[in-house]
């Protein structure tokens, strides 16, 4: 395995690993260890090239710094990406080599599941590093973080609905869910139980069929999800879906979902506000998964600790949206200032 340091101003360390034997091409980006060792999941995606993978890793790593701080966790921000198609290229040997890569960073970065990576994949990586979390076994094994992420998103969505729709009761409200992966499907379950009407999309035919049969979701094409008549738009797929191109299509009054880095650029927050659409800052809303993983990293076995932290995400969302409403500020700017204050005191 070959390692190459990449230059990324503002980041503590960014490393590219390549291994001819297993086909691994992976980047680990560490944005900050100011609050503790960096923690963030591994994403496997068939990126077009190394530059695209690095760009995603950098955005995600910085997002993890803010996510962990907003969740009051003693962890910094980092992220890893593997350049591969998870449906075709994933092998136990590739994940084991990735584990060796993580181990080379000597505890400055902890990995876990993200898009394209399962509990079983992390278990393979963990054979070669003790800096992997999200495991199903062991005294502190936290398992798949997706259900906890979804619960946090649901609780924060209720808060956002209070500010954007005038009620936190989602009964009869229509939610457009973009992405039916592990988190998106669990979120649909919460919404269905709450009496919400679902419109959903995904490129996975099996997931579409499940959402339709289990929750009565109306299925639309991926490009059509933005323009459906809905009260809430929930991005639960890849990032940057809230863009200058998609915002004019939105008919929802609230954007609250599980995806990371939902805003394609800083101007998108203002574009949403100009259309009267309330944005719930993604890294606060989707912090449940890293809370679950953090319990494993910090060796905390009490489930009550996780639940308390997840509930606090909703409280934090409430405070951020309240301040944004009172001061006529953009919610994502208020959230960033909130976290910057935390980091400044560290």
Give the up-direction half-sphere exposure of residue 26: CA atoms within 13 A in the CB hemisphere. 29
Which of 175, 325, 192, 333 lies closest to 253 in space, CA to CA?
175
Asked if residue 335 lies in contact with residue 318, where contact means CB atoms within 8 angstroms, the answer is: no
217: DSSP letter: P
Hey, is 54 helix, strand or coil? helix
Four-point Cα dihedral 191, 196, 202, 205, nearest 10:
90
Which of 164, 23, 28, 157 lies closest to 96 in space, CA to CA?
23
Catalytic residues: 79
For residue 238 the two structure tokens come to: 């890849």
Asked if residue 123 lies in contact with residue 113, where contact means CB atoms within 8 angstroms, the answer is: no
DSSP 58-93: HHHHHHHHHHHHHTT-S-EEEEEEEES-TTTT--HH
């Amino acid at each position: 395995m070959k390692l190459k340091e990449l230059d990324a101003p503002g980041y503590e360390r960014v490393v590219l690993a390549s291994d001819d034997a297993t086909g691994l091409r992976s980047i680990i980006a560490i944005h900050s260890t100011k609050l503790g060792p960096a923690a963030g999941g591994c994403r496997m995606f068939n990126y077009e090239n190394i530059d695209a993978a690095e760009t995603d890793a950098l955005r995600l790593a910085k997002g993890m710094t803010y996510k962990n701080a907003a969740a009051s966790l003693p962890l910094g921000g980092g992220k890893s990406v593997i350049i591969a198609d998870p449906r075709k290229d994933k092998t136990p040997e590739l994940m084991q080599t990735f584990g060796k890569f993580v181990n080379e960073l000597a505890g400055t970065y902890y990995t876990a599941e993200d898009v394209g990576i399962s509990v079983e994949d992390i278990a393979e990586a963990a054979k070669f590093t003790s800096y992997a979390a999200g495991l199903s076994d062991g005294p502190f094994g936290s398992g798949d973080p997706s259900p906890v992420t979804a619960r946090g998103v649901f609780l924060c969505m209720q808060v956002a609905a209070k500010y954007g729709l005038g009620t936190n009761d989602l009964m009869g409200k229509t939610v457009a869910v973009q992405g039916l992966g592990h988190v998106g499907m669990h979120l649909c379950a919460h919404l269905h139980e709450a009496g919400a009407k679902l419109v959903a999309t995904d490129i996975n035919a099996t997931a579409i069929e499940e959402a339709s049969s289990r929750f009565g979701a109306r299925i639309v094409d991926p490009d059509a999800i933005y323009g459906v008549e809905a009260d809430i738009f929930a991005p639960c797929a890849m990032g940057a879906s809230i863009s200058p191109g998609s915002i004019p299509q939105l008919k929802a009054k609230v954007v609250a979902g599980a995806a990371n880095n939902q805003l394609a650029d800083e101007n998108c927050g203002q574009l949403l506000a100009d259309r009267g659409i309330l944005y719930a800052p993604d890294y606060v809303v989707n912090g449940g998964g890293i809370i679950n993983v953090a319990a494993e990293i910090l060796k905390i076995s009490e489930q009550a600790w996780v639940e308390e932290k997840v509930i606090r995400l909703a409280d934090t969302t409430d405070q951020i949206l309240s301040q944004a409403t009172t001061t006529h500020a953009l919610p994502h700017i208020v959230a960033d200032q909130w976290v910057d204050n935390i980091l400044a005191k560290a």
